[in-house]
Amino acid sequence: MNPDKKMRLAAYYNPTGHHVASWRHPRAQADASFNIQHYVEIARTAEKAKFDLLFLADANATREAAVEAISRSVQFVAHFEPMTLLSALAMVTSKIGLVGTVSTSWNEPYHIARKFASLDHISNGRAGWNIVTSGQNAEAQNFGKDKAYGHHDRYMRAREAVKLVLGLWDSWEDDAFVIDTKSGLYYDPAKRHDLNWSTELYKVKGPLNVPRAPQGYPLLVQAGGSDDGRETAAMFAETIFSPHLNIPEAKAYYEDVKSRMLKYGRDPQHCKILPGLAVICRPTQEEADADYEYLQSLIHPIVGREMLNTMLEYKIDLTKYDLDEPFPEIPDHDGGHYASIVSMARREKLTIRQLGQRVAGARAKNVIKGSPTFIADYMQEWFDAECCDGFTIMPAYIPGALDDFCSMVVPELQRRGLFRTEYEHDTLRGHLGVPRPANQHVARNHFSGVLD
């Protein structure tokens, strides 16, 4: 739990919202995916509410799905590239953290290191990298491959890529660039460190052609729920977006990942675990229920089934079953969304249509709908149970549901002393209480256990 007893809040933006039918809601921005002014406004809204960070997901392909489904969905069809967008948002915000997704499967480590070091400078220390491994074949097919790397191979590549990126971020010591116009010395050669990395996967000489970032390393973010994902999180993650739907599962995950950190010499306080929470807040429970049911009525059943297929990694062909049949018996699988969805289907005896609607409505995250007091009570229950360090807020539709959360729930959390009323720091690491790593060539830092 955070020593200051304050929640951390991330604002996770799908362009029009996290409900699959969000773009059809009258309080959503239907063209949000390619509307820069929309992003400017919602970034400013989250910053005014004192969120720790905003987060943009990404994929290097249009989502794989049946045409009749994908043509009715806004999710990963066409949207801005996140690093370009975050750089623009850095110019219209001053405090909120800016976290973007970049895949280790389809980006070279040098590219990753350079982009995020640049964003950290542009934003004055507010950048964060969401590390993903990309399992979609559609992405692989845009990079000269027929299929995505296998699960274990993806994580093996990711771990090496992260180590390499950290090494590149340490190419220059903090005071390497003396820029002495009188003597004519631009940088101190003794404070430059070429990487000279060479393995079967990667060969990178270095150094990085960007000075050391204001945060030392931009914040490292991750969302893996499988065993490979948990181990990678224990090695590197400083913030985790987790998918758990109830307190026992969330607490087990929280304790597992934080205990794994110890074997790498990492302080568990240096990783903030923020479960996803899809939120609809209205002044009364009745209004919130009505809003949610209206959104659910906008889901096309084919879209619901396709979203379910995606979350289940296409391990079963649901088109063989009637939508109103009970969800079929399928094998258990290691962690992540798959396990949570199958567990929910069995526990609640849901049909394919019902489960598809549930998953599509929340993208397999918790859905909470109600009054400001009800939602704050729910969040406080989880926080007091020490199964999270805060939450990843996923507004059902944007900007409307974001505006409601910021204007109604945030003040209630502040009234209870659970959330900041002002920013105390200027950097993303400062907001989260995660220390700035020392340059590994000067002193040991909090990743030394995996970098040694």
Predicted local distance difference test score (pLDDT) of residue 403: 98
What is residue 67's predicted lDDT score, i.e. its pLDDT? 47
For residue 426, tell me if it sits in a domain: yes
CA 228 to chain CA centroid, Å, is 17
CA distance 417 to 280: 22
Task: Report yes or no on 21 lying in a domain.
Answer: yes
CB 298, CB 363: distance < 8 Å: no
Examine residue 291 and state whether it is found in any structural domain, yes or no: no
Q: How many angstroms separate the first and last alpha carbons of the chain? A: 28
User: Does residue 324 sit within a domain?
Assistant: no
Domain, as residue range, for 390 = 8-283+367-451
Q: Do 69 and 235 form a contact (C-beta atoms < 8 A)?
A: no
What CATH number is given to the structural domain containing 387?
Answer: 3.20.20.30
Is residue 303 in some structural domain?
no
Is residue 331 assigned to a domain?
no
Query: What integer pLDDT is reported at residue 168 of this predicted model?
Result: 98
Residue 157 bridge partners (DSSP): none
What confidence score (pLDDT) does residue 226 get?
Answer: 84
This prediction has a pTM of 0.90
31 occurs within a structural domain: yes
Judge contact between 14 and 57, C-beta under 8 A.
Answer: yes
In a domain, 334, yes or no: no
List the chain residues with pLDDT less than 70. 1, 63-76, 313-314, 332-337, 361-365
Number of domains into which the chain is organized: 1
The Cα–Cα gap between 406 and 410 comes to: 5
